[in-house]
Amino acid sequence: MTEIAASQPLTEPTGTAVPSSVPTHWYNLAADLPEPCPPALHPGTREPLGPEDLAPLFPMALIEQEVSTERWVEIPQTVREIYGRWRPSPLIRADRLERALGTPARIYYKYEGVSPAGSHKPNTAVAQAYYNAVEGTRKLTTETGAGQWGASLSLACSLLGLECEVWQVRASYDSKPYRRFQMETYGGVCHPSPSDLTESGRAILAADPDTTGSLGMAISEAVEVAAQDPEAHYALGSVLNHVLLHQSVIGIEALEQLDSIGESADIVFGCAGGGSNLAGLTFPFIGRNLRDGATTRVVACEPAACPSLTQGEYRYDHGDVAGLTPLLKMHTLGKDFVPPPIHAGGLRYHGMAPMVSHALELGLLSATAIEQDDAFRAGIEFARAEGIIPAPESTHAVAAAMAHARAATTDETIVIGLSGNGVLDLVAYEDYL
C-alpha cells in the first residue's frame, strides 16, 4: 500500500499499479471521419460556438476535447488509476447463450456492469470530475433519468472531492428510489425535476403542474444553476463529443481482447439512448474500418418508444426544453418530445449524439428500433443462459443480437455491448414478468 499524505490533492496519482491493459489514450473518431461533423451553434446567434460560450459550463480541458480532431488523447494517470479498479472490463464468450439459440455464430459481450455504479457511465464521470477538480471547480450539477448518470457522477465527485447536485426526472425520482439512495450514499444531492428551485423548473410547473418530467427539462435546471454559480460547472453524461471520447476505452479494450484470442468482429450491437456507450464500443471499430479497410458492421439499437435514429429528423435542435443549450445537428424527435415512461429510462432522450447521427448519415453504422417486450424477453433469456441480468437499456442490444444470431447460417463473430447490469432495475423486470 502506498501511504498518501492527507494534504495530497485527490487529483494527484497515488502511484498505485494500473493493469497494462487499461488504455493509455482515448480514441477520437473525428480524426478519421471522411467529412467533419457539423459544428454546435450558439442558441442565440446560430453562429458556431466558441470556447468562451462554453466556459461558464465546462472546464477548458473538456472544451478542447469537444472540438479536438486529434486521434489519440492521453488519459491522465489519476483517471487511469481509478479506471484500474474495474477496467479492463471483461469480454465474455456467451457460449451458453449460443447453445440456447442453436446458432453457428460466436457471441461475445463486453460487460460494463462491473463498474461501481453498474454501468459504463463512470468512464466519463471520472474523467469529467477529474478535469473539473484540476481547474478548481467546487460543485458539479447534472440531470439524470433513471438515475445511473446521477449515481455515476456522485461516485466520481466523491472520489475527486467535488460536490454533486442532481435533477432527476420526476417519474423516475418517484418510482426508482434506489439510484437516489446510491447518489446520497456517495454524498450527492438529488432533486425531482421539474423543481421550484430554478426559473426554468418554475416555468414548466406553472404550465403543467402534473408533468412527469423529461431529461430535457432536467438539463435546463442543471444548466441554469451551473451557469449562475461561478464555482459550479455542469456535466453531461452522454451526447457530447468529449463524453464519447472518454467512453472509447470500451472499444479499444474490446479490439485488443478480440485480437488476443485471434478473433475479429463481423458485427457489433450497442444500445443507443444519447449514444455514448454505443460510440464508446463501436467508434474504435469504425475507425479501424476507415483506416485499415476492416469491415465490422455496427448496429445501434434504440427503443421503438423513443426512436430518434430510426424516426427522428436530422436537423439542428436544442438539447433541453428551455433552449438554453447549444444547437446540435442530430437525429431528434424534437426538444419538447416527452417519451412514454418506458422502463429503459436511460434511453428516453429526444436526441442523439451528433457524432453518432453524423456516422449514420455517412453510412458508417445502421440503426434498428426494438419493442419493449422483445427487449425484456431477450434480457430474461440472456440472464437464464449467462447469469448476468442486463440493464433494461442493454436488453435492446441483446435482443437485436439474438435475432441476428438466430438467423445466422455461418460462424460469424457477434459482439454485444452490455452497457450495465439490471440489479437496481429488478422492478422493471418484475413489471414485465
Ligand X SMILES: *Cc1c(COP(=O)(O)O)cnc(C)c1O
Binding site for ligand X (CB under 6 A): 119, 121, 148-149, 238, 271-278, 346-347, 391, 393-394, 419-420
Identify the CA nearest to 325 among candidates 192, 190, 222: 222
Tell me which DSSP letter residue 421 carries. Answer: B
Nearer Cβ to ligand X (18/355): 355
Identify the CA nearest to 147 among candidates 424, 336, 423, 379: 424
Assigned C-alpha cell, 166: 442532481
Please identify the residue of the shown chain whose CB is closest to the bound ligand X. Answer: 420
Rounded Cα gap, residues 280 and 386, in angstroms: 23
Assigned C-alpha cell, 415: 459482439
Nearer Cβ to ligand X (75/391): 391
Q: How far is the CB of 62 from ligand X (least distance, A)?
A: 16
Nearer Cβ to ligand X (89/103): 89
Q: How far is the CB of 250 from ligand X (least distance, A)?
A: 10
Nearer Cβ to ligand X (146/157): 146
Q: How far is the CB of 77 from ligand X (least distance, A)?
A: 26
Nearer Cβ to ligand X (103/115): 115
Q: How far is the CB of 366 from ligand X (least distance, A)?
A: 16
Nearer Cβ to ligand X (49/398): 398
Rounded Cα gap, residues 12 and 89, in angstroms: 24
Three-point CA angle 339, 342, 346, nearest 5°: 85
Identify the CA nearest to 145 among candidates 103, 195, 180, 101: 180
Q: How far is the CB of 10 from ligand X (least distance, A)?
A: 25
Q: How far is the CB of 348 from ligand X (least distance, A)?
A: 9
Contacts of 403 (CB under 8 A, 6+ apart): none
The DSSP result for 90-148, as a single string, is: PEEE-HHHHHHHT-SSEEEEEEGGGSTTSBSTHHHHHHHHHHHHHTT--EEEEEESSSH
Nearer Cβ to ligand X (103/339): 339
Q: How far is the CB of 294 from ligand X (least distance, A)?
A: 23
